[in-house]
Structure 1
Amino acid sequence: MESSLKSLTGKTALITGGSRGIGRAAALSLAAQGCDVAVNYLNSEEDATSIVRAIEELGRRAYAFRADVSRQQEVESMVKKVQAELGTIDILVNNAGINPSRPFLELDASDWSRTIETNLTSAFLLSQAVIPAMRQQQWGRLVFISSVAAQTGGVVGPHYAASKAGMLGLMHSYANLLAKEGITSNAIAPALIETEMIRKNKNIRPDLIPVGRFGHAEEVADAIAFIASNGYITGQTLNLNGGWYMS
């Protein structure tokens, strides 16, 4: 029987927040599967340049694009540049995110707005920008990197949990609207992946996870590549959390 997993060779992926952590691992994983990769970054130009070189060593094309993905004009400009350099964006990984950490009663409207704009609004703006070309070719993959915080409240705070829960609603809506057009929309909800974001938060410990360790960015990247390779999975949240939240 023929495998349901389709080759990604020749596809183009855009990964937001792609210079470090989960984004970097996803860029390498998709490149290994045959994708050309657009790496979005905001501040880490050196890291973005480094991952571009690593992808090129795998024999794929790669470019780094600086943009604040919470700003519509910058998103639209970046998408046009990616399309000019690499062609239609076939796979969008909405990974950019922040988690301002402070006692929850000290959070203010600025913390809320910045978190919602970076984590959630960006996913909406990017998806809206890439979907028209996906519809034209009747093929596309939208992947939203949410969090266990969307399901349990997490340990960061209500601003972060709300932004990640919003991503699940956004994902469900696109899955429903686009299911008949060859475009899938799915989310991954990781918990405590060992990235710089996690290491900086002293309140986050590996003993919070039933399996007793932090997850690895490469484990999330493998799940992204799997979702992108499967055309029958849509509207789903893959819980990659070491047993923290079971469904």
Structure 2
Amino acid sequence: MAPIDNQVRGRLALVTGASGGIGGGCAKELFAHGARLALTCSSDRTYSKITELASSLKSSTKEDVKISCHIVDMSSTKAIEELFEQIKTEHGQTPDILVSNAGTAGFGNKANPYLENISLEEFDFTININLRASFLLCKLAIPHMAAQHWGRVVFVSSISAIGGGINGCHYAASKAGLTGMMKNLASKHAKDGITLNDVAPAMIGDTGMIPDEKRVEGTPGDVKNIPVGRLGTPQECANVVMMLCKTGYLTGQSILLSGGLK
């Protein structure tokens, strides 16, 4: 039997959507466990957030740990391919760990996200960002992982994947697609030493979608409907992601992180 390797230290982790609460939390947790980082955001407006995060992390240690920052349009095949070229140039390799977190909330009409208010354009855009981008990221990341017989892929899904949440059907479809793709790839790549899982959060505060409890008042995600009586935190999402990265015996699973909400 080959030695069991669940070591994260020294691995290269790509975290997409690192300017947000969940992505930033994942980046911090991976860095705390010794991973090198490639962080992405979607625009010049959010680039300062990931560069500030990178500076803060690097100043917190005496170790010289490489962190690269990238602006990427996740709806663009070319941009995602260029991201991997940039990562290879800066780190000398492609990622060992992929945390596919970047996404869009899919709110065309935030107050009324029902079918009649969702345009075809918004549906396509949401699928492209939330599902298609993860497909492309896997196509580019998995060959290196398979070649070294070690890899971790974690998708950030949602309670919407199983019909819950406060978003529209386009968002739910994109997240359910992630879970289906994850389960398929997990069964195919377990033999390659690669695990694929997702974390499906619900009602996580301090994020762009839910900045505070007021945002979900009067919705199915109202705090009074959550059995534990509060919103979740980005750090709690990061804790689950970290567990998935450190556990090579766990694959093909969707972890619902919802405070008991169904």
TM-score > 0.5 by shorter chain: yes
Q: How does 1:14-93 map to 2 (within 5 A)?
A: 14-43=14-43, 44-57=46-59, 58=61, 59=63, 60-86=65-91, 87-93=93-99
The match for 2:100 is 94
For residues 174 and 55 of structure 1, the distance between their equivalents in structure 2, rounded to whole angstroms, comes to: 32
Which amino acid in the other structure matches residue 65 of structure 1? H
For the aligned residue pairs, the C-alpha RMSD in angstroms reads 1.5
Which amino acid in the other structure matches residue 15 of structure 2? I
Contact 1:27 1:37 in 2 (8 A): yes
**SS of equivalent residue, structure 1 residue 76:** helix
**SS of equivalent residue, structure 2 residue 209:** helix
The match for 2:197 is 186
Is 1:232 equivalent to 2:249 in the alignment? yes
What percent of counterpart residues are identical? 37
Gaps of 5+ in 1: none
Contact 1:69 1:126 in 2 (8 A): no
For residues 242 and 211 of structure 2, the distance between their equivalents in structure 1, rounded to whole angstroms, comes to: 25
Contact 2:84 2:94 in 1 (8 A): no
Contact 2:95 2:141 in 1 (8 A): yes
For residues 211 and 29 of structure 2, the distance between their equivalents in structure 1, rounded to whole angstroms, comes to: 23
**SS of equivalent residue, structure 1 residue 199:** coil
Gaps of 5+ in 2: none
Which ranges of 4 or more aligned residues in structure 1 deviate by more than 6 Å? Answer: none
For residues 225 and 156 of structure 2, the distance between their equivalents in structure 1, rounded to whole angstroms, comes to: 20
Alpha-carbon displacement from aligned partner over 1:95-143 (angstroms, at most 9, x marks no partner): 0111132221211101101111111111111111111111111110010
The match for 1:199 is 211
The match for 2:178 is 167
For residues 206 and 14 of structure 1, the distance between their equivalents in structure 2, rounded to whole angstroms, comes to: 32
Contact 2:14 2:99 in 1 (8 A): yes
**SS of equivalent residue, structure 1 residue 7:** coil
Taking structure 1 as the reference length, the TM-score comes to 0.93
Count of aligned positions: 242
For residues 122 and 70 of structure 1, the distance between their equivalents in structure 2, rounded to whole angstroms, comes to: 7
Alpha-carbon displacement from aligned partner over 1:49-73 (angstroms, at most 9, x marks no partner): 1111122123322111111122111
Which amino acid in the other structure matches residue 148 of structure 1? I
Contact 1:14 1:38 in 2 (8 A): yes
